[in-house]
Amino acid sequence: MGLVNKDISNGIGIITLNNPRKLNALSTSLINDLCVCLEEMIEENARVVIIRAPAGSKVFSAGHDVAELPTNGRDPLTYNDPLRLAVRTIEHFPAPVIAMVEGSVWGGACELVMSCDMILASEDSHFAITPAKLGVPYNISGVQNFMITGGVPLCKEMLFTAQPFPVNRLVEAGVVNHAVPVEQLEDLVMQIANQIVKNSPLVISLLKEELRLLSAAHNLSPETFERIQGLRRQVYDSRDYQEGIRAFFEKRPPEFKGS
């Protein structure tokens, strides 16, 4: 596979994001390769899947590929956006998906990692949720995912500051299951994966789907949905949205005007 590597043995699948030239940015092509890998893992009866970056990575993923963010008045994070597809594919995958994190995780990659069933990270990893830095009106299900996983106080601090947070803050909030010295990370992940593989795949698959449905059981009235979408449109139609993306590529701080 082009931008991801795949390995499976003894029921344990390992998917390695492998586009270091683009810091594993979640481009359409990387996400497509990831989703194809996950589909193949189902066919090959993987009992657990580990998603990782190559050992020693300084950046786990730089998040959404900013070059693929539309600047022509289109919603940047619609239902069919590659990031949304990847999150749903992981959430619906019929077995546990473990995020094994080394390095820094940026923007939408934080949501991708949080959509996994467990996060095990090296103790020097960092997580930055960056829509406010880029001027991006994050979408409803993404914000809900952050809220459900991280809790509102931590999410507000991460979303409003758009700064990298050390992994211990996410461990304290219960977002990250374990943060260990990097040399212990792979052994711990494999230890947990081997414990999972010994148990009933049918029960685990049922439990995962039960937990997904119960935790997502927040119904939005059509009026509420439309109101939020209207607020989001005001942002992605704004000059600030264009400025955020332009500033990124010009490698300068954005000058947001609030319009």
For residues 25 to 64, the per-residue mask of contacts with ligand LCV, x marking binding by CB under 6 A and - elsewhere, is x---------------------------------x--xxx
**Minimal CB distance residue for ligand LCV:** 107
> Interface residues for ligand LCV in 59-98 (CB under 6 A)?
59, 62-67
Q: How far is the CB of 42 from ligand LCV (least distance, A)?
A: 27
Cα separation, 8 vs 180, in Å, equals 24
**Rounded to an integer, what is the distance from CA 223 to the centroid of its chain?**
28
Looking at beta carbons only, is 13 or 135 nearer to ligand LCV? Answer: 135
Residue from the set 23, 50, 100, 189 that interacts with ligand LCV by CB under 6 A: 23
Q: What are phi and psi of 15, to 5 degrees?
A: -110, 120
Instruction: Tell me, by CB under 6 A, how many residues bind ligand LCV.
Output: 19
Q: Does 135 bind ligand LCV (CB under 6 A)?
A: no
Residue whose CB is less far from ligand LCV, 96 or 131: 131
Q: Which of 17, 51, 136, 155 binds ligand LCV (CB under 6 A)?
A: 136
Do residues 57 and 16 lie in contact, with contact meaning Cβ atoms separated by under 8 Å? no
CB 127 within 8 A of CB 162: no
Contact residues for 80 (Cβ-Cβ < 8 A; gap 6+):
none
Q: Which residues are catalytic?
A: 64, 108, 138
* Helical ranges in the chain per DSSP H: 28-43, 82-92, 108-114, 131-134, 140-150, 152-161, 167-172, 182-197, 201-215, 222-236, 239-249
What's the count of helices (H) and strands (E) in the chain, helices before strands?
11, 10
Residues at the contact surface with ligand LCV, assessed by CB under 6 A: 22-23, 25, 59, 62-67, 106-108, 130-131, 133-134, 136, 138
